[in-house]
Amino acid sequence: MSTLQDKIADRSVRVAVIGLGYVGLPLAAAFAKADFCTTGIDVNHGKVDAVNAGHSYIPDVPDDDLATHVRSGRLAATSDYDVVGEVDAAFICVPTPYDAQRAPDLSYIEAASKSIRPRLQPGQLIVLQSTTYPGTTEEIVQPILEESGLKAGVDFHLAFSPERIDPGNKQWSAYNTPKVVGGLTPACTRLAADLLRQMGAPVHPVSSTRAAELTKLLENTFRAVNIALVNELALLAERMDIDFWEVVDAAKTKPFGFMPFYPGPGVGGHCIPIDPYYLSWKAREYDYYAEFIELAGEVNQAMTYHVVDLVSRALSLHGKPLSGARVLVLGVAFKRDIDDARNSPAERVIELLLSRGAQVAYHDPYVPSFRVGGNVFHREPVPLESVELTEEELAAADCVVIVTDHRSVDYERVVRHAKLVVDTRNTTAGVSGYGEKIVRLGAPLLL
């Protein structure tokens, strides 16, 4: 019987990808593209049906590619975990959100591990990909899997390899972004690394699962802290009557030792606003307070309040109170050119606007409906639908707030028809002749 190592070498490894979301579907497609027989497992039957019909719901996975893999028999999806008993390797790509108090919610990882446990086979490789705090693979996944009677690192292989996918990024994808891999034992690391190399990704092995887990959190904390830094300086620049965007553009001409980050309405998505808190939560177990993380979170969260303050100030300079004003929010996805609105700063901005009495509508070419509220910021849940970006809609708004700068929107047209624009992304910088009605975050208030 051939070993896992042999099967990796001749690409006869059968792979399962558990959780077919923004991370799992591109990974499953990448394995299928590399000629591995791949099965996606998801508890969401709608996603399973879509994959089997060759329909992609993730913009980074083109329909054509998915359909080709499904037709060739290299990719299928199911909600039945029994397939785990038939594969050689399984990758866990389930969500790792936090709760209302920003404590890690590992219930999805636990559920997936418990579903694998009764089907676990000797010689299998299990790789956790979900972003989480250092220790999760060994403290949560390993004990659950070992309840099967099989021992990790001896009877089966266990590793952690973080996902670094950047939705919407055309240059770096699941195929070419280097993968960091840390196994429970050197053999676990080698097998996971070899398999990922065969999938096509460059691999950087590290000495442990915990080093791999911390690597991902370092990357996301680095972003959170640097975004907080420019947000803080942008607020200062507003008071000093300096255009901070011009300052970042100037600083980035330095060819070494500087990397540009830009201010904005806050951070969103499934990574930057969440992952650092996984680390600060875990740090407390070690009598350690990760103050940079908490401070960055505080500064970045305050930006949504600042945006609402800018809207309120801009409106009052136009003789209009925020209460009763009609506000059109442009863009609710958490960043440009994607359809993912999870934890978007727009959510809090809209909740704060509503709780201060504004009437709010939104337009987002990628997000047809959006739900806010049902929390301490706005008790009532409010379902919203994207309105068309007509001249009438723009003109009827007392203020248009650009929260996400999708490239497909014509911002000159927006400014031309709007009465007042609050721009949190500097997307109107190139629009001239309307200075008196544009308020840019991080720039002097010209009104």
Ligand X SMILES: NC(=O)c1ccc[n+]([C@@H]2O[C@H](COP(=O)([O-])OP(=O)(O)OC[C@H]3O[C@@H](n4cnc5c(N)ncnc54)[C@H](O)[C@@H]3O)[C@@H](O)[C@H]2O)c1
* Residue keyed to tokens 């920003």: 102
Pairing status of strand 179-183 against strand 157-160: antiparallel
15 binds ligand X (CB under 6 A): no
d(CA 158, CA 126): 5
Q: Which two tokens stand for residue 359?
A: 């009437």
User: Based on the number of CB atoms within 10 Å of its own CB, is 342 exposed (0-12), middle (13-18) or buried (19 or more)?
Assistant: middle
d(CA 388, CA 382): 19
Q: H helices within 241-344, ranges in order?
A: 244-251, 275-283, 291-317
* Binds ligand X by CB under 6 A, chosen from 4, 16, 19, 409: 19
Cβ-proximal residues to 387 (8 Å cutoff; 6+ apart), any chain: 328, 361, 362, 363, 393
Smaller CB separation from ligand X, 42 or 88: 42
* Residue keyed to tokens 């499953």: 28
21 binds ligand X (CB under 6 A): yes
Smaller CB separation from ligand X, 217 or 328: 217
37 catalytic residue (yes or no): no
51 and 19 Cβ atoms separated by less than 8 Å: no
- Nearest-CB residue to ligand X? 21
**Which of these segments, 18-26, 183-191, 228-236, 388-396, binds ligand X (CB under 6 A)?**
18-26
d(CA 103, CA 277): 7
Letters for 260-279 (x = contact with ligand X by CB under 6 A, - = none) are: ----------xx--------
* Binds ligand X by CB under 6 A, chosen from 8, 77, 93, 394: 93
CB 340 to ligand X: min, Å: 7
The radius of gyration of the chain from alpha carbons, rounded to an integer in Å, stands at: 24
Residue list 97-126, contact with ligand X (CB under 6 A): 108, 111-112
Angle (deg, nearest 10), helices 244-251 and 209-240: 130
* Binds ligand X by CB under 6 A, chosen from 41, 106, 330, 409: 41
61 binds ligand X (CB under 6 A): no
18 binds ligand X (CB under 6 A): yes
**Which of these segments, 65-73, 87-95, 176-184, 260-268, binds ligand X (CB under 6 A)?**
87-95
Smaller CB separation from ligand X, 93 or 354: 93
d(CA 70, CA 52): 6
CB 323 to ligand X: min, Å: 36
Q: Which two tokens stand for residue 442?
A: 């991080």
For 437, what's the count of Cα atoms within 13 Å in the CB-facing half-sphere? 19
**Which of these segments, 19-27, 62-70, 201-209, 365-373, binds ligand X (CB under 6 A)?**
19-27
* Binds ligand X by CB under 6 A, chosen from 16, 165, 188, 195: 165
CB 97 to ligand X: min, Å: 8
Smaller CB separation from ligand X, 83 or 354: 83
Residues taking part in catalysis:
271
Which residues are at the interface with ligand X (CB under 6 A)? 18-24, 41-44, 47, 93-96, 108, 111-112, 130-131, 163, 165, 167, 270-271
